[in-house]
C-alpha cells in the first residue's frame, strides 16, 4: 500500500515537474535581477547608475573629473544623484570582499540575463530525460536542476574573468570606478566594433546554432545521470558564453550596472535564441553596433 502511494506521488511530481521547474527558473531570474537592481552589495542602487546616452564615455569621463559631491555629474540626463557620495573611489588594490562582491554581482547579473533564454533548453532536458526513463535508459527522476547548475557554473567562470577584466580596465583608467562604464572613447569604439564583428562571424553563428537547436545538441551529447546532466549543462553553457560573451562586454561601455544596457542586451539575447528570425536579429545587431562604433569614433 505504501509503495503504491509512493509511486502515485512520484508520478504526480513528474507530471508537474515542468511547471515546478519553470516557476523555479522564473523566481531565480527575478531574485537575481532584484539583487542587481538594489546594488548587489556594492553600496549604490543600480537605478542611480542608470542613464541613457548614445556616447556614454563622455558622461563617464565628466563624472570622473567632477569634484566629490557631484557638480560634474549633474548633467547626466535621467540620473538620480541621491546617494552619489556612496560611489567608491578607485582602489589601488581591491580587498577580498570587493572581489567577492564584484564576482557575485557579475554572476547574479548573468543569471538574471541568461536564465530566460536558457529555460526552454532546461525544460526540454527534463522532458527528454523523462522519455529516456520511460524506455529504461535513465533513472526515474530527471535531474534538470543538475543541468541548470552545470549551465550556471560556466557563467560563474565567465563572471570571475569579467571581474578581473573590470579591475584591469579600472586600474588603467579606462573604466570609471564609480559608474563602472567606459570613460575612454577608444575603449568604447573597440568594444562596440569587436561586438559588431563577432555578431557577423562564423564562430558566433556556430555557437548560436547550438543554443537555438537544443534537440540536436541533446542527441549528440546526451549523458545519463546527475553527473551527465551537469556535464551537458556545462557544455550548453559554454556554447552560450561563446555566443554572447562580447555582447556582455558591452556593459563596459554603457556601465556594468546600467539597467538600461542590461535590459537591452538581455532582450537581444532572448530574441537571438528564441525568435524564428533570431539569426537575422543577431546580424542586424552586428551592423548596428559597427555603425555605432563608427559614430563614436567621429563624435
Write down the pLDDT at residue 67: 45
Q: For the chain of 299 residues, list the mean pLDDT of each consecutive stretch of 10.
A: 48 63 87 89 79 77 50 36 41 83 95 91 80 58 80 96 95 87 92 97 93 82 80 93 95 92 94 92 96 92
Rounded Cα–Cα distance for residues 182 and 294 (Å): 16
Rounded Cα–Cα distance for residues 124 and 45 (Å): 36
Write down the pLDDT at residue 12: 56
Write down the pLDDT at residue 137: 57
C-alpha cell at 39: 546594488
Write down the pLDDT at residue 63: 62
Read off the DSSP letter of residue 73: G
Read off the DSSP letter of residue 89: P
H helical segments located in 172-224: 185-199, 202-212, 214-221
pTM of model > 0.75: yes
Rounded Cα–Cα distance for residues 261 and 230 (Å): 31
Question: 175 pairs with which residues across the strands?
Answer: 182
Write down the pLDDT at residue 65: 59
Write down the pLDDT at residue 81: 36
Write down the pLDDT at residue 54: 79
Write down the pLDDT at residue 91: 55
Amino acid at each position: 500500500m505504501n509503495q503504491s502511494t509512493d509511486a502515485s506521488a512520484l508520478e504526480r511530481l513528474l507530471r508537474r515537474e515542468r511547471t515546478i521547474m519553470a516557476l523555479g527558473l522564473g523566481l531565480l531570474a527575478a531574485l537575481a535581477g532584484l539583487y542587481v537592481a538594489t546594488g548587489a552589495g556594492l553600496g549604490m542602487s543600480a537605478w542611480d547608475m542608470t542613464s541613457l546616452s548614445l556616447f556614454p564615455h563622455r558622461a563617464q569621463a565628466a563624472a570622473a573629473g567632477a569634484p566629490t559631491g557631484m557638480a560634474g555629474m549633474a548633467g547626466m540626463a535621467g540620473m538620480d544623484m541621491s546617494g552619489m557620495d556612496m560611489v567608491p573611489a578607485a582602489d589601488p588594490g581591491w580587498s577580498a570582499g570587493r572581489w567577492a562582491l564584484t564576482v557575485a554581482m557579475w554572476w547574479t547579473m548573468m543569471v538574471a540575463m541568461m536564465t530566460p533564454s536558457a529555460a526552454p533548453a532546461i525544460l526540454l532536458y527534463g522532458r527528454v530525460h523523462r522519455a529516456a526513463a520511460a524506455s529504461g535508459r535513465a533513472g526515474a527522476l530527471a535531474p534538470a536542476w543538475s543541468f541548470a547548475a552545470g549551465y550556471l557554473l560556466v557563467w560563474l567562470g565567465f563572471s570571475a574573468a569579467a571581474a578581473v577584466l573590470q579591475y584591469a580596465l579600472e586600474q588603467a583608467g579606462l573604466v570609471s570606478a564609480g559608474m563602472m562604464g567606459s570613460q575612454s572613447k577608444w575603449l568604447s569604439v573597440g568594444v562596440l566594433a569587436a561586438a559588431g564583428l563577432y555578431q557577423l562571424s562564423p564562430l558566433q553563428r556556430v555557437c548560436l546554432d547550438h543554443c537555438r537547436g537544443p534537440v540536436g545538441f541533446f542527441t549528440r551529447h546526451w549523458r545519463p545521470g546527475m553527473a551527465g546532466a551537469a556535464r551537458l549543462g556545462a557544455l550548453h553553457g559554454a556554447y552560450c558564453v561563446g555566443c554572447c560573451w562580447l555582447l556582455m562586454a558591452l556593459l563596459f561601455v554603457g556601465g556594468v550596472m546600467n539597467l538600461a544596457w542590461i535590459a537591452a542586451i538581455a532582450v537581444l539575447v532572448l530574441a537571438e535564441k528564441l525568435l524564428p528570425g533570431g539569426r537575422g536579429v543577431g546580424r542586424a545587431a552586428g551592423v548596428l553596433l559597427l555603425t555605432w562604433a563608427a559614430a563614436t569614433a567621429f563624435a
